């Protein structure tokens, strides 16, 4: 963790070049500004009267619901994959593809939110007049996290869609199914760690009593499990033991379970709105 004086009486902290936590005095009150809460609209300036749609409690709640639906469908697909005499492979593949769609919707909603978040200011923020679909904010770990996550969900769209009617040949299946899945897993892992850095204000943190830290930690764990599943899902040239595919699906199931827990906690978090300079938060 680094500490930097940016203005008189102001301390900024974060990992590397990122500033994700600021503490300062404003009109005699101690203010603790956090990047995650700011971009999601979970912290409000006392004088803020206009809250854009993408920073309202309902927006965050519905985003969490989309993640929950996608997670449940991935869990269902993974479970059916290891159960004997369940559904046909093509039917299971369709479940995975259906699960990838709400993931992509939620990923876009989060990135849209981050792309249109205002820059840090001690005054009440003013929403941007020009909306940005994706944005470009490489200095912001929250935006980097959401844009890599959104790109990862698109990779999983290709991965799951191509698995419905797989092409012949192990190398073509690796190219059309395994490779997009691995790209998605890498992007998810990068996204999960950036969100962890943004929330913990350091390369590593341990804050199990904080709800926002619980969310990013369980999501990061899910990203790691997805990565392991992706590595195990490689299609070899010849036959492989059946336990390899089962192990991949087990990791996939528990990774999706982590995402489900994180999404449910995010829905709970959406109702906890705090006012900057106040020690209390209000339930919406």
Round to whole Å and give the CA distance between 208 and 247: 29
Report the DSSP pairing between strands 281-283 and 272-275: antiparallel
Burial of residue 175 (number of CB atoms within 10 Å: 0-12, 13-18, 19+): middle
Contact call for residues 163 and 92 (beta carbons, < 8 A): no
Mean pLDDT of 125-145: 88
Residue 145 φ/ψ, nearest 5 degrees: -65, -45
Residue 268 has pLDDT above 60, yes or no: yes
Residue 82 has pLDDT above 50, yes or no: yes
Residue 66 has pLDDT above 70, yes or no: yes
CA distances from 217 to 1, 81, 245 (A): 18, 27, 27
Number of neighbouring beta carbons within 10 Å of residue 16:
10
Residue 7 has pLDDT above 70, yes or no: no
Burial of residue 274 (number of CB atoms within 10 Å: 0-12, 13-18, 19+): middle
Dihedral angle sign, alpha carbons of residues 70, 72, 76, 78:
positive
3-state SS class at 55: helix
| Angle, helix 211-232 to helix 179-200, in steps of 10 degrees | 160
Tell me the pLDDT tens digit for each residue of 157-195. Answer: 999 999 999 999 999 999 999 999 999 999 999 999 999
Tell me the pLDDT tens digit for each residue of 22-57. Answer: 998 877 778 899 999 999 999 988 877 788 999 999
Contact call for residues 216 and 205 (beta carbons, < 8 A): no
């Amino acid at each position: 963790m680094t500490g930097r004086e940016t203005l008189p009486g102001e301390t900024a902290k974060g990992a590397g070049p990122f500033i994700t936590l600021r503490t300062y005095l404003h009109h005699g009150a101690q203010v603790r500004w956090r990047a995650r809460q700011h971009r999601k609209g979970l912290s409000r300036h006392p004088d803020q009267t206009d809250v854009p749609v993408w920073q309202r409690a309902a927006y965050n709640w519905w985003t969490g619901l989309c993640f929950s639906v996608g997670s449940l469908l991935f869990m269902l697909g993974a479970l059916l994959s290891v159960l004997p005499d369940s559904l046909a492979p093509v039917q299971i593949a369709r479940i995975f593809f259906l699960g990838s769609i709400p993931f992509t919707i939620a990923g876009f909603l989060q990135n849209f939110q981050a792309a249109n978040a205002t820059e840090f200011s001690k005054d009440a923020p003013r929403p941007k007049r020009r909306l940005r679909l994706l944005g470009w904010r490489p200095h912001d770990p929250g935006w980097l996290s959401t844009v890599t996550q959104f790109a990862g969900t698109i990779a999983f769209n290709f991965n799951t869609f191509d698995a419905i009617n797989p092409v012949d040949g192990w190398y073509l299946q690796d190219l059309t199914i395994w490779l997009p899945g691995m790209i998605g897993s890498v992007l998810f892992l990068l996204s999960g760690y950036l969100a962890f850095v943004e929330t913990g204000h350091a390369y590593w943190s341990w804050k199990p009593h904080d709800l926002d830290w619980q969310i990013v930690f369980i999501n990061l764990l899910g990203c790691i499990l997805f990565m392991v599943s992706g590595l195990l899902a490689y299609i070899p040239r010849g036959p492989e033991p059946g336990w390899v595919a089962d192990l991949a699906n087990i990791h996939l199931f528990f990774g999706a379970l982590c995402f489900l827990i994180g999404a449910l906690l995010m829905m709970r978090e959406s109702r906890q709105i705090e006012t900057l300079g106040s020690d209390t938060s209000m339930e919406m």
